[in-house]
Amino acid sequence: MTLFEKIIAREIPAKIVHEDEKCIAIHDIQPEAPVHILVIPKKAIPRVGAAELEDQSLLGHLLLTAANVARQLDLNAGYRLVINNGPHGGESVPHLHIHLLGGRQLRWPSG
């Protein structure tokens, strides 16, 4: 069971900013920006590269949820969405999630 599955099951506490039947959005415990939220599907998909055609609607839901959370957090000046895939992509938890970063000017390239 991954860290995120334990958070979804309420075995590990988290600061939740959004939850619905398909996903949960929480504050990252090691923020990389003033606002750093993780949008996590409740369905355990290891990474975006492992998603299947049946996950298409869920993936869209995650993106729309991230945009809604950004609006709720007043990130009107802009924000960044990041999905890490695999060890070289920066993946640290093998459970698909979207990083929502904002609250300051973000630089590019990021990494």
Active-site positions read 97
CA atoms of 21 and 111, how far apart (whole Å)? 33
Q: What is the phi/psi pair of residue 62, to 5°?
A: -60, -45
Contact status, residue 24 vs residue 18, Cβ threshold 8 Å: yes
